Amino acid sequence: MEAYFDNSATTKVYPEVKDIMVKVLEEDFGNPSSLHVKGLNAEKYIKEATEIIAKSLKVDTKEIYFTSGGTESNNMAIIGAAIAHQRIGKHIITTAIEHASVHEAFEFLKRQGFEVTYVGTDESGKVDPEEVLSLVRPDTILVSIMYVNNEIGSIQPVDKIGKALKKKNPKTMFHIDAIQAYGKIPVYPRKLAADLVSISGHKIHGPKGSGALYVRSENTNNVIKPIIYGGGQQRHMRSGTENVPAIAGLGVAARKSFENFEDKVSHMTMLRDRLVEGLTAIDEVYSNTQDAPHIASISFTGVRSEVMLHTLEDKGIYVSAGSACSSNDNKKKVSGVLAAINLPKERLESTLRFSFSEDNTIEQVDYAVEVIKELLPVMRKYVRK
């Protein structure tokens, strides 16, 4: 049996996503900026995807911009907002457990002379809204907080933070990285008092290289400045010929993700809980799992995570030792998220992430639990000799 539990890294595309992308590539391949019928046909796909995503977020179509994925959406939001507001101040705030595409954007801005404040979390990986608000100053121009943590599934209180932030300093931009939230929990930027919200296609069964950024429409140029210049596509906010096949695929993925939404979320939650219950019944196995319906973080003390990962791979079980993006840098690097929540050293080095999609089954979960029950004592005995 094959059991793919790395859906927070990427998902398998829906068949309908593949079909529409092939159609665009083979038939409706025009440049959407062209004035002839081929260009107009290509532009229709962009318009349709925009309408689907705007509807899912309950926002206006003019507030949606397409990007090459979550990393670009986060960079466009963070760097673009900092550039737009630097005359007001250079103080920016984020958390200690952000994805690399947020953390590294803030580190870049720090090198450009911005002052960065990193907010810590409690042992569940959540920030305290009161602490965030206490750090906001008259010269604070940006606060960026992820909605759902990509390693342990903590859901941040972004609704409380956004509303309180706007009362304390209406000029401070509020960015939410919703890449692990979109398609798993409701994401409504206006309800959250968010100015900027990032989403990614390949986390919701869409194509890699697709994403979108919500930008609050009230005088957009006062919210962010472009970081990519050229032909002025997407209302001059993100130049470059649009990737129409990917945008069309993203639109279809977004539409399908929200069909029978509550049933899909309930299914993932049930699988997560079943896995956690089965694995934590094993001696010295601990759960770091938090709220998100699709993420389980499990520590197998006595066996390093990389060893466990590859042992499971041999059995057709695919999991992650942390963020897929972060692992490009240093495969032996301790997770910053797990360190931030003060996990003991033996758990820091032995944690795996299991992440679910609507495609996963009870049989796959039970298979994984049985394989681990059988292999873990043997592996521990071998390691401890």
Q: State the DSSP code for 148.
A: B
**Among residues 1, 2, 21, which one has the least CA distance to residue 205?**
21
| Secondary structure of 185-219 as H, E, C letters | ECCCCCCCCCCEEEEECCCCCCCCCCEEEEECCCC
- Alpha helices, H only, the chain: 15-26, 37-57, 70-85, 100-111, 129-135, 158-168, 244-257, 261-280, 305-313, 336-340, 345-348, 362-384
What SS3 state is found at 34? coil
Task: Note whether 145 and 192 are within 8 A (CB).
Answer: no
Active-site annotation holds for 110:
no
User: What are the structure tokens assigned to 346, written together?
Assistant: 């033996």
Residue from 133, 185, 307, 325 carrying the catalytic annotation:
325
Element (H, E) at 355: strand 351-355
Largest CA distance in the chain: 72
Instruction: Please count the other Cβ atoms lying within 10 Å of the Cβ belonging to residue 96.
Output: 16
- Helix pair angle (37-57, 244-257), 10° resolution: 30
Q: Which of 41, 21, 55, 15 is nearest to 255 (CA)?
A: 55
> Annotated active-site positions, please?
325
